Amino acid sequence: MENAAHQDLPASVLEFRLPDLGEGLTDAELVSWAVAVGDTVELNQAIADVETAKAIVSLPSPFAGRVVELLAQPGDTVAVGAPLIRIRTEEAASETGRTSVLVGYGPEAEATSRRRPPAQSGVSRTESTDSQPEEPGLSRADDADSVAEEPQRQSGLALGATRAAATPAARKLARELGLDLWFIAGSGPGGAVTVDDVRGAVPVSQPRVATVPTVADTGPVRPSVREERTPISGIRKRTAAAMLTSARTIPQASTFVTVDCTASVELLDHLRGTKSFANLTLTPLPLVAQAALAALADFPGMNACWDEAAQEIVTKHYVNLGIAVATERGLLVPNIKEAQTLSLRDLTREIGWLADTARAGGATPAELRGGTFTITNVGVFGVDAGVPLVNPGEAAILCLGSIRKRPWVVRDEIAVRWVTTLGVSFDHRMVDGELAARFLATVAGFLEDPLTLLSRV
């Protein structure tokens, strides 16, 4: 299957080009074909899966007819607008070459997530007396979705996580010079590599390919059984790109607080027995999320982004709350749109539904982009604290550690209490240490006395 050169097509042959999936990216990786040359396809029949911005999207056919040519192979990176497939159909010639728009994607679909199922869709997970039950966890701020956040979009850069952030001219020059963009520090908007960066670049720490000793006349070279090599692709490559952007462009700092959350644990135990939460799995994470949302209302500077092109701080008075989810395919960070409007019950349902959907590989591009503040839960792994990296395009990320019974001083006496550690990493360009500390102390205060939190809802 080779990309065919431009040619005049018969009126009966229509060409389907990769549509704009509404992610601010310029390309997608073809994962697999669901059809072959000669197959008959129906209107809206799934014909291929593509992956971009951490979401695998199934492409439906906009035409009914017979497949005459596949124009890309699995593993190929296909540019938006590039031809994917040709189908012979009886449609009028005027339809030839049109760019189809997938239902649920494109610019109009970016701002909203899919409609959630009814409340009874909560996840059933096993409770633990030592730490939180299984729920969305470990975040290293990955959201390759975040690689193309506000500053990059406004500067005209579409940073696909399958490649380093660079201007088109810089990318072309790097190819001509044989340089790897991953090893060139960028000085452009959002850390993008510019032509000047390429011209003055001296690649650093270029990886050396290890060779496996061979014995003459023993057949083909085989990799050492003591090592295993895994190609960097898909979500891992996109995560790496986002982490590189985060570490390279964001001056980060962190602060921590240890909290007696016994009252919160007791409140959750009580709520689990109520009718409102009968069909939901209520874990500490939704309560922490609600505490964070209340604190963000008091300290909106924690819910902002840095616009490099305009040299402005953009404070957002809505919260698209990112929840880090560890999946078999890698880390995903879907976000709950307008989370500040939700009750504890609604947050519980949304978090459970998003986590299940992400683990099943069903998260949409709209759910994986546009986050404004993220929560990661390392406590599900029995870890007391963590220092996550800030998602590019956000100001801060909150980390929840394990909730354990520990000795604690209560009214000058030692008592056994439920205790956890909260941490927040923040972009020091926008957030000063005082603001971060006051925000974190407010979240801790809500967990120490959750009735004050509920009184604000």
CA 283 from centroid of its chain's CA atoms? 22
255 forms bridges with which residues in the sheet? 424
* Coil/strand/helix, residue 445: helix
Backbone torsion region of residue 438, taken as left when φ is above 0, otherwise alpha when ψ lies between -120 and 50, otherwise beta: alpha
Exactly one of 6, 270, 317, 428 is catalytic; name it.
Answer: 428
- Asked if 292 and 346 count as a contact pair (C-beta separation under 8 A), the reply is no
Q: In the structure, how many helices (H) and strands (E) does the chain have?
A: 11, 19
- Asked if 396 and 390 count as a contact pair (C-beta separation under 8 A), the reply is yes
Answer yes or no: 317 catalytic.
no
Q: Which residues of 420-450 are buried (b: 16+ CB within 10 A; e: fewer)?
A: bbbbbbbbeebbeeebbeebbebbbbbbbeb
| Closest residue by Cα to residue 423 from 409, 411, 412, 439 | 439
E-assigned strands of 229-308?
A: 252-260, 304-307
| Closest residue by Cα to residue 324 from 399, 393, 382 | 399
What is the distance between the alpha carbons of residues 188 and 152, in angstroms, rounded to a whole number? 10
Active site residues: 428
